[in-house]
Each structure stands twice: as C-alpha cells, then as structure tokens.
Amino acid sequence: MAAGTGKTGAGENRTIPRHVAVIMDGNGRWAKKRGLPRTAGHAAGSENFRKIATYCKNIGMDYLTVYAFSTENWKRPPEEVGTIMRLLRRYLNEAVETMERDRIRMKVFGNVEALPEELRLLVAKTDEISSRYQGFQANICLNYGGRDEIVSAARRYARDLAAGVAPAELTEDLFSGYLYSAGIPDPELIIRTGGEQRISNFLLWQCAYSEFYYTDTYWPDFGPEELDRAIEAFNARDRRFGGIK
C-alpha cells in the first residue's frame, strides 16, 4: 500500500504513514500527577487531540484514528463517563463549526445507536459535512470495541446472506467492507501512550500488520515532537508481511 512521503524538519525524506491510529491513554494519571481530578485529564486530552489532528493533516497524513471511548469504558463511575460524553459533545459541536474551514473530515467508529441523542445528531451532522469534500480524515472511536465491530459486521453480512448472497463469495476484502473502517486502508502504525502495552480491544481486524509504538508519555503530554519520533521509529522498521527480504 502506497504511503505518502513527507519531509522532516531537517528536509530529509521520510515516509509518513497514510494511516496512524492512537490509543490515547493516560489522561487520568496525567491529572493525578498534578493533583487534579481525572476529569481535568480528559479535558487536557481532548485539547491535545485537536493539536495532534492538525499536525497530522499538516504533515500530509491521510487518516488519523483515535480511541476516545471503548465499549468497556462504561464500567467507569457515571460522573467520569458523563464528563467524557460532555467533552465529546463539545468537541463535535466545535467540529461542526470549524471542520469545513479547516478541511478536516471526521467519522465516528463505534456503536452510535447506543449514544445519547444529542451525540447521535452531531455524528450525523459531521458525516454530512465530511461527505462534501476530500482530504485528511480523523476517525474517532466512540463506544468502540474491536470485537463489537466484528460482530456487528457479521450481523450485517448475515442479513445479506439471508437476502441471497453466496457464502463462497466472502473474502477478507469483502468482509472489511462491513466494518466501520470500510474503504480506509489499515493503519500502518498504532501508537499507545500511557505506558501500557496492550491492545484493549482496539482495531482487532485492522491491526493485522500494523507496527506498534509504545510510550510512557501520558496522552495530554504527547506532542508533535513525540509523534515525529514515533514516525521515525516506524521508518526504521523492517516490514516483511510474512515474506523475506
């Protein structure tokens, strides 16, 4: 899959992955370290997402997919869930106002049906705006789980089967078309901030050949310089896809 080429600050060539995905972890610990409530960490994390998305667009990336709220995150205390939903609502409201001007398309991956109505309407609105132009796209995983995504894809495929589609026609490519990420190349690079080295139910299908980059930096502190370091590490990887050199 062709990756875009961007330039480093030094002018030396590097490959910018077409699609980078980020598990934005560590908001709570970032706040705790500063003696602040966890919710302050989520606010700072949301601010950092704006900054990183703009940077990704400016260096010529095509897609940035971020994990904002998982299907498992409902286990958190209702006050924390409420704060995260409020921040997401605020973010999407602002996006509706600014995304066309900033040329940022946006898509929400996840079970949107289960979200509060106001959020559902905002998602529909950002979809509508995004459909009007081309260019950099941010995907926000919201009420997202990799297993849930695969099961809901299977459910939709089963409906097509019942309508007469032949099972023998199913291929990996065709199945990918039932996922939230339909039509989007798999992420070449997946970054996890906050020190944990696990996938936490993120992009289980799409990560088949992704390169992983872990950092102890908490998400609100993960700036463009560190993203550059992750891209540099990606450039140094030897991707074989099961073949040999």
Residues, the chain: 245
Closer residue to ligand IPE (CB): 171 or 197: 197
Q: Which two tokens stand for residue 1?
A: 């899959």
Q: What is the dihedral of CA 205, 206, 207, 211, to 10 degrees?
A: 170
CB of 80 to ligand IPE, least distance (A): 8
Residue 25 falls in the annotated catalytic set: yes
The interface region with Mg ion, picked from 21-29, 50-58, 113-121, 209-217 by CB under 5 A, is 21-29
Closer residue to ligand IPE (CB): 23 or 153: 23
b/e map of 199-209 (b: 16 or more CB within 10 Å)?
Answer: bebbbebbbee
Closer residue to Mg ion (CB): 25 or 186: 25
The interface region with ligand IPE, picked from 23-31, 123-131, 155-163, 181-189 by CB under 6 A, is 23-31
Choose the one of ligand IPE, Mg ion, none that binds residue 220, judging by a C-beta under 5 to 8 angstroms depending on kind.
none
Q: Which two tokens stand for residue 183?
A: 């039509």
CB of 61 to Mg ion, least distance (A): 24
Closer residue to ligand IPE (CB): 80 or 100: 80
C-alpha pair distances (Å), 22 with each of 53, 138, 148, 227: 11, 11, 19, 10
Q: Is 25 in the site for Mg ion (CB under 5 A)?
A: yes
3-state secondary structure at position 80 = helix
Return the residue nearest ligand IPE (CB atom). 28
The interface region with ligand IPE, picked from 47-55, 67-75, 147-155, 224-232 by CB under 6 A, is 67-75
Determine which one of 48, 73, 143, 173 is catalytic: 73
DSSP string, 38-60: HHHHHHHHHHHHHHHHHHHHHTT
d(C-alpha 19, C-alpha 187), whole Å? 5
Q: Which two tokens stand for residue 42?
A: 């989520």
Catalytic residues: 25, 73
Chain residues that interact with ligand IPE, rule: CB under 6 A = 23-29, 67-70, 73, 84, 194, 196, 198, 200
| Residues of this chain that bind Mg ion (CB under 5 A) | 25
